[in-house]
Structure 1
Amino acid sequence: MPKFIIEDDFWSLFPQAKIGIVICQGIDNSIRDIDIYEKLLREAEKEAHKFFSLEEFSSNPVISVWREAFQKFKTKKGARCSIEALLKRVKNGNQIGTINPLVDIYNSISLRYGLPCGGEDIDTFAGDIRLTLANGNEPFIPLGSDENAPPYEGEIVYKDEEGAICRCWNWREAQRTMLTEKTKNAFLCIECIDETRSDEFHLALKELSELVSHHLGGTVKMEVLDRNHREMTIFG
């Protein structure tokens, strides 16, 4: 049975982190009513404005906490947490476009709660998934590219036995494991490093699982990994 394992080298940098996982099995991610997902995103964009209380964008807590985190490990120049990229688009008045139901759902949760969310297609995984520091030799084809762009040594990555599947923790995902309309089994995650936001984190995880179950069917299970619970079985 494949596992998701968070390695010790990650916990040595972020002992307070919580990684929430939603495993979705037997879902239907083909688009039926695009209006549903448009509505989810537009409502989430409105709610996201509550995170812009400070004039200087990068000083807002949901962004500054990740700016500080990204200084603790090797990153590609200009790499930013996924929630910062989403919120910046909203602040600049740009709508978040629909991609497919799973991505639209987790983007709406990310915007509403100010937490980074992501997802991968489980059926593309090779062996166990690890959140760890890269050795720098992991193959990585970024979403929308066909050129190998491996992570730096010491960069936080999600990876499996074939290579990296997300670089700079939650900055850029791999083409190989992307969610598509054909995805039947998905690995979704929400990341929290701000201990004061534990309640919002748990609410976001619960709402993510409920939205997937309601719109896409199948079965979902939630699990939270922290420094006292460092691995989980993906299936089984």
Structure 2
Amino acid sequence: MQKIIIDQAFWDLFPDVKIAVMTAHNVDNKDQNVPNDLIQNANKIAKKWVPDDPISANPVVKAWRDAYRKFKTKKGARNAVENLLKRAKNNKGVGNINPVVDVYNSVSLEYAFPIAAEDLDKIVGDVHLTVAKGGEPFTPIGEDEIEEALPGEVIYRDDQDIISRCWAWRDSARVADTDETKNLLFYMENIQPERDDDHLAAAHQLEKRFHDYLNIDINDLTILTRDNPEFVFAK
């Protein structure tokens, strides 16, 4: 049995965060009926979240910037959703990658929440959202050089190494979803309690698009909170 576990050290920093988690199985990440303009439309919709300049003045971005000030981060680290929204705002939107990535990026852009998708079969042991002791290894997507977490940095890790640095900044190359990925673990964080309804709607939209475009039924959506901090993703 494998779980995603949100450690108390994280809740001590962020007691009101909610995290939607779910899995998708038997995915065909190649030839699927994903509309070519799904991402293009999502890039347009995303602009509604960042109408003001500078980008940090917009509530969804400001909330994440404020959160990142509460723990140690690598210089220049920004939450992944800020990077997506910035690209959309600057008319340099996200392009098509593969069916799975296009589907969850479209939801992330339209609802302004970060979504991570990890190859479930490559995860070693349990996944913890926790606070780093410092020195935990991490190999980011697209790079060969191994980095190390800073003491006090918020990270996702499994029993082998870090799978996401600076909370939701960069993902590990080791567990990244690829064209060959068959089984996925998703997690999507909300740090703004006033957006709980949006958060749940985004999670349901991800379910719907997996059904509509990838012919996959997701039936284990769970919202993790400090009172419900664990989710079994593999038995």
TM-score, scaled to structure 2 = 0.96
The structural deviation recorded for 1:214 is 2.5
* 1:23 equivalent in structure 2: 23
Contact 1:27 1:219 in 2 (8 A): no
How many residues are treated as equivalent by the alignment?
Answer: 234
Say which of 194, 201, 208 aligns to 1:203: 201
Paired with 2:208 and 2:217, the residues of 1 have a C-alpha distance of 10
Q: Partners of 1:181 and 1:217 in 2: how far apart?
A: 16
Q: Which residue in the other structure is 2:214 paired with?
A: 216
The equivalent position to 1:140 in structure 2, one of 129, 133, 138, is 138
3-state DSSP class of the match of 1:49?
Answer: helix
Show the 5 A alignment for 1:144-223: 144-220=142-218, 221-223=220-222
Pairwise CA distance, 1:213: 2.5
State the alpha-carbon separation in 1 of the partners of residues 167 and 31 from structure 2: 29
Per-residue CA deviation, residues 142-165 of structure 1 (Å, 9 max, x unaligned), is: 100111012111111110010000
**Uncovered stretches (5+) of structure 2, i.e. residues with no partner:** none
> Following superposition of structure 1 onto structure 2, how do residues 54-69 of structure 1 map, counting pairs within 5 Å?
54-69=52-67
Find the residue that maps to 1:188 and give its secondary structure. strand
Q: Structure 1: which 4+ aligned runs deviate by more than 6 Å?
A: none
Kept in 2, the 8 Å contact 1:26–1:217? The answer is no
Question: Partners in 2 of 1:217 and 1:6 — Cα distance?
Answer: 30
Alignment gaps of 5+ in structure 1: none
Deviation at 1:33, TM superposition (A): 5.0
* Separation of aligned partners in 2, 1:140 and 1:217: 33
Indicate if the aligned counterparts of 2:84 and 2:93 stay in contact, CA closer than 8 A: no
Q: Which residue of 2 aligns with 1:79?
A: 77
1:126-145: CA deviations, max 9, x gaps? Answer: 00000001122322111001
Deviation at 1:31, TM superposition (A): 3.6
Give the whole-Å Cα distance in 1 for the aligned partners of 2:3 and 2:62: 32
Question: Alpha-carbon deviations, 1:64-98, whole Å to 9, x = none?
Answer: 00000000000000000001101111111112111
1:116 Cα deviation (Å)? 1.0
What is the CA RMSD across the aligned residues, in angstroms?
1.2
Is 1:230 the counterpart of 2:224 in the alignment?
A: no
Cα distance in 1 for residues equivalent to 2:56 and 2:92: 18
After TM superposition, the structure 1 stretch with the greater mean CA deviation from structure 2, 213-222 or 119-128, is 213-222
The question of whether the paired residues in 1 share the 8 Å contact of 2:32 and 2:213 is answered with no
Contact 1:133 1:154 in 2 (8 A): yes
Contact 2:40 2:95 survives alignment (8 Å) = no
Q: Distance in 2 between matches of 1:200 and 1:218?
A: 23
- Structure 1: distance between partners of 2:216 and 2:134: 37
Deviations 1:174-225 (A, max 9, x none): 1000001111110111110100000000000001012113222344221110
Distance in 2 of aligned mates of 1:230 and 1:156: 16
The question of whether the paired residues in 1 share the 8 Å contact of 2:33 and 2:214 is answered with: no
**SS across alignment from 1:234:** strand
| Mapped pair 1:4 → 2:4 | yes
Please give the secondary structure, in 2, of the residue aligned with 1:23. strand
The percent identity for this pair of structures is: 41
